Structure 1
Amino acid sequence: MTPAYPPSWYAASTTPLPVQPALVGRIDCDVCVLGAGYTGLACALELAEAGYRVVMLEARRIGWGASGRNGGQAIVGFGCGERKLEALVGADDARRMFDLSREGLDWLHGRLARHDIQAHWRPGHATVPLKPRQQRELQAMVEHFNTRYDHPVQWWDRQQLRGTLASDRYLGALYDPISGHLHPLAYALGLGRAAIEAGVQVFEQSEVTSLVRGARPLFRTAQGEVHCDFAVLAGNALLHGIAPELEARIMPVGTYIAATAPLGEDGARALIGNDMAVADTAWALDYYRLGHDHRLLFGGRASYSGRDPGDLQGIMRRRIAGVFPQLKEVPLEYVWGGLVDISLNRAPHWGRLQPNLYFAQGFSGHGVVATGLAGKLIAQAIAGQAQRLDLFAKIGHAPFPGGQALRTPLLVAAMGWYKLRDALW
């Protein structure tokens, strides 16, 4: 039986691709990619266009994981932030990485146009502070972005923000006119269609049960196996035992999104006048935007425990009312969740485990843009141009403390401290 996409407004507002067959028997190829999310699709598409024979193995459906369920916010930069990246690799390499993230956004726009992907792109993203400390930090970042990164962000004071965003909760905004938002599942399905048309052999319902490393890596599934010259691990939070050394360096985190009933065009624009995406600066942040059918899509309530919270509908209604009291009586038509992957330092973790085994993970909430870049850089490295991918190998990545047994409770405790800090300072 073909697995359905998890219920969400995204799944309800798109048409899935035709089901691709499951892998049966043996197949040989140049490159095998595990995972049909943004990273894997970008890599496979780039390689197929360069003439490589590419096979893609997907446990469920194209875009089934985080690529088809995320908040849709397409933000340049990386989850750790520019100051942290400078501390990790130095100012010059941090600038090079930031410029590559801008290239990743250009790649996204190029693919939307080239393949006529109707993903409802909207420009503009606001990062909004809740506390004076956060306001000061964002104001300093505006100056840093403009002088160090040539990135044209703006500072909006509270009055200017209030003219665009119908909430009294925030002290201002760092406004980025280049970042924006889109329909994430439509984007994933568009990349999937493009990859198939480029000649990628996509096998759905083909969960990888083991990887045999060596001169020609071998992926095994329940009914088949793929032998390849190069292998790419793009499973992120869903690798499940394929590469334990990678899994130790990311933590799957549950995040949740609610979609209100449609508000009408006038009602939606009364909330967010310029149709930008918004995210606050709390550790357990709220993030939201408008859908193309004029409903509010509101994300938040991250879970670090591995369990979904109870009464998720009630929790999301209260979070929405905290930002937009005027919506407290508006019903929620969809509530869903999924797993994203975070690294311990929130920086991207990309590279290779051996000369013919590549990976990318640790997108830490910035995956819509960074995944396309990661897939492109891995494809370039396989083709013999590894310098740009190797730049990211300069970022050190430690495993989460506590091992498999204790890392989740330790992270839950740490998140409790950060939430307390947000509340008090």
Structure 2
Amino acid sequence: MSTDRTSATNPGHAPSWYAHSANDKRVRDPLVGELSADVCIIGAGFTGISAALQLAENGYSVIVVEGERVGYGASGRNGGQIVNGYSRDLETIARRYGQDKADALGKMSLEGGAIIRERVAKYGIQCDLVDGGFFAAFTDKQIREMAHVKAHWEKHGHDGLEMVSKSDVGKYAKSDRYAGGMIDKRGGHIHPLNLVLGEAAAVESLGGRIFENSRVIDLKMGANPVVKTDKGQVTAKYVLVCGNAYMTGLLPKITDKMMPVSSQVMATEQLDAKFIQDLLPANYCVEDANYVLDYYRRTADNRLLYGGGIGYGGQDPANLTGVIRPNMLKTFPQLKDVKIDFAWSGNFALTLTRIPHMGKLADNVFFSHGDSGHGVTTTHLLGKILGETVNGHASRFDVWSSLQAYPFPGGKTFRVPLTMLGAWWYGMRDKLGV
């Protein structure tokens, strides 16, 4: 995500509608001096905060150190969509890793969304939670693929899916672009920055401590590992590394197996309530079925939040709205005179397999990263699993850590152009409908 532009109303965050409308804009102190805790967590995004809350609820003393602000990265800048599952379907996971692994991941695949809803209710988090998601198809081929995915999902207990005919698309999106699609009643959307801020406040209410502007400069392994920042350090029994796409350079064993990828988002001016309700009558979030997809939804204050585009290596386009606005107008030409109030970009961590990468650097140092574009739900699940692992229940961690991760071909020099070539190929297949 872009780091040279910050929010005027919420310093240290990207200039997003989320930062502008955040419920909690207080800046937490940096780490100064020497502290100790049962667990030190690196990174205050969804993964780190989810793990911290799981541990704090179980009585552990927890310290979270964050290089910027809580929710600074993808957790506070994404499209805000609760999308169940992973970036690769369960059949692909079965082919790669075996049916037993696919079955295990299938049992967990709806849990991320359930964790979000449970915590929102338990801690009274105000994050504009709305149920329902719509997957929009451009072609008959994409519709057939959705129907196949639906049948497979249902074998794993997902009972919230329904196919949508072309004649019924208008119930979810008043656009002429789509040939049909599928709804997920267990999907939904939220204000992601307010969600992670609310979860962070819940951690603190249970005695956890969170330090912002405390970038980690060194991690020393040992019986009691030490996490060092420029002004302090934390000695802990366990360390959880949850830096994701913004953890450049610290731990090559992790970062060499992921690539930062940027996505662009914008939010319109506030629209007339009836006008935006006509665009998205069910108030479901929407994502299309293309390889490089668009995603959009209504906000609580009646804006259209629209995202898309992709920048491998984390590179931002010079003109954010120039990338997204043309696609928005293809979808909703009735917005041609609407102003754009906010535009921002942000990085998520992509793995070569498009499957999250979990593992351990030592017997008491664990990590999770690489949610590959499905992070809102998956980070909540994997953060909880990290907490379970520290608490002595590692069976689910063992499943995830057994899934082999690989470095990108071409190394740091050629991984971006090679990945771009692959994306171009799949993009052409979308355009040609093959």
Quick check: 1:145 aligned with 2:153?
Answer: yes
Measure, in 1, the Cα distance between the counterparts of 2:155 and 2:50.
Answer: 32
The one-character-per-residue Cα deviations of 1:304-342 (angstroms, maximum 9, x if unpaired) are: 143211222222221100111111211111111110111
CA distance in 2, matches of 1:167, 1:20: 44
Residue in 2 aligned with 1:218?
A: 226
State whether structure 2 residue 408 is matched by structure 1 residue 408. Answer: no
Deviations 1:332-384 (A, max 9, x none): 11111110111111112123222111111111111111111111111111011
Tell me, what secondary structure is at the counterpart of 2:416? helix
**Counterparts of residues 112-131 of structure 1 (less than 5 Å):** 112-131=120-139
Q: Distance in 1 between matches of 2:163 and 2:309?
A: 27
Structure 1 residues 147 and 31, CA, compared in 2 at 3 Å: closer, same or farther?
closer
Find the residue that maps to 1:326 and give its secondary structure.
helix
Cα offset, 1:99, TM superposition: 2.3
**1:132 and 2:130 are equivalent in the alignment:** no
Contact 2:106–2:156 (CA under 8 A) maintained in structure 1 = no
Letter paired with 1:327:
L
Q: Is the 8 A contact 1:305 1:409 kept in 2?
A: no
Range that drifts further, 144-153 or 260-269:
144-153
Q: TM-score, normalised by structure 1?
A: 0.96
**2:388 corresponds to 1:380:** yes
Match of 2:216 among 200, 205, 208: 208
1:190 to 198, 206, 209: 198
Question: Which moved further from structure 2: 91-100 or 226-235?
Answer: 91-100
Cα separation, 1, equivalents of 2:96 and 2:179: 30
For 2:270 and 2:257, the matched residues in 1 are separated by 40
Letter in 2 for 1:393: S
- Residue in structure 2 matched with residue 354 of structure 1 by the alignment: 362
CA distance in 2, matches of 1:161, 1:318: 21
Amino acid at match of 1:21: D
Deviation of the 1:91 alpha carbon: 3.1
Contact kept? 1:17, 1:189, Cα under 8 Å: no
Equivalent of 1:307 in 301, 315, 338: 315
Show the 5 A alignment for 1:288-299: 288-299=296-307
- What's 1:89 paired with? 97
Alignment of 1:246-325 (within 5 A): 246-325=254-333
Displacement of 1:264: 1.8
Letter of the 1:343 counterpart: T
Moved more, 344-353 or 331-340: 344-353
State the match for 2:6 in structure 1.
none
Shift of 1:148: 4.5
1: CA distance between counterparts of 2:39 and 2:193?
25
- Please provide the CA RMSD for this pair: 1.5
CA distance, structure 1, for counterparts of residue 360 and residue 108 of structure 2: 19
Task: Give yes or no for the alignment of 1:21 onto 2:29.
Answer: yes
What are the Cα deviations for residues 200-228 of structure 1, in whole angstroms up to 9, with x where unaligned?
11111100011112222111111111111
Correspondence 1:242 to 2:250: yes
Report SS of the residue matched to 2:265. strand
Q: Distance in 2 between matches of 1:98 and 1:192?
A: 28
**Offset, 1:83:** 2.1
Give the aligned residue type for 1:416: W
Q: Is the 8 A contact 2:172 2:284 kept in 1?
A: no
Aligned to 2:39: 31
The aligned counterpart of 2:372 is: 364
Distance in 2 (CA, whole Å) between partners of 1:192 and 1:267 is 35
Tell me the CA shift for residue 71 of structure 1.
Answer: 0.5
Deviates more, 1:95-104 or 1:343-352: 95-104
Which residue is 1:101 aligned to? 109
> Shift of the alpha carbon at 1:74?
0.8
For 2:237, the equivalent position in structure 1 comes to 229
Asked if 1 retains the 8 angstrom alpha-carbon contact of 2:261 and 2:315, the reply is: no
Q: Could you say what secondary structure the match of 1:7 adopts? A: coil
1:54–1:200 CA contact under 8 A, matched in 2 = yes
Inter-partner Cα distance in structure 1 for 2:384 and 2:319:
40
Q: 1:177-236 CA deviation, whole Å, 9 max, x = no partner? A: 011110001101101111111111111110001111222211111111111110000000
Other-structure match for 1:336: 344
Give CA deviations for 1:129-152 in whole Å, capped at 9, x if unaligned.
Answer: 222322211121222222444433
Offset at residue 4 of structure 1 (A): 2.5
Out of 48, 58, 61, the position equivalent to 1:50 is: 58
Mean alpha-carbon deviation: is it higher for 86-95 or for 134-143?
86-95
Partner Cα distance (2:160, 2:172) in 1: 19
**Against the structure 1 CA distance between its residues 356 and 421, is the aligned structure 2 distance closer, same or farther, given a 3 Å change threshold?**
same
Instruction: Provide the identity percentage.
Output: 37
Contact kept in structure 1, 2:87 and 2:372, CA below 8 Å: yes
User: Following the alignment from structure 2 to structure 1, what is the Cα–Cα distance between the partners of residues 124 and 160?
Assistant: 28
Secondary structure, counterpart of 1:360 in structure 2:
strand
- Structure 1 window deviating more from structure 2 (255-264 vs 88-97): it is 88-97
Number of matched residues? 424
Q: Deviations over 1:255-307 (max 9, x none)?
A: 01111112222111101110001111111100011001111100001111432
Greater displacement, 55-64 / 101-110 = 101-110
- Distance in 2 (alpha carbons) for counterparts of 1:129 and 1:395: 31
Stretches of structure 1 that go unaligned for 5 or more consecutive residues are none
- The CA deviation at 1:52 is 1.3
Letter in 2 for 1:210: D
Pairing partner for 2:404 from 396, 409, 412: 396
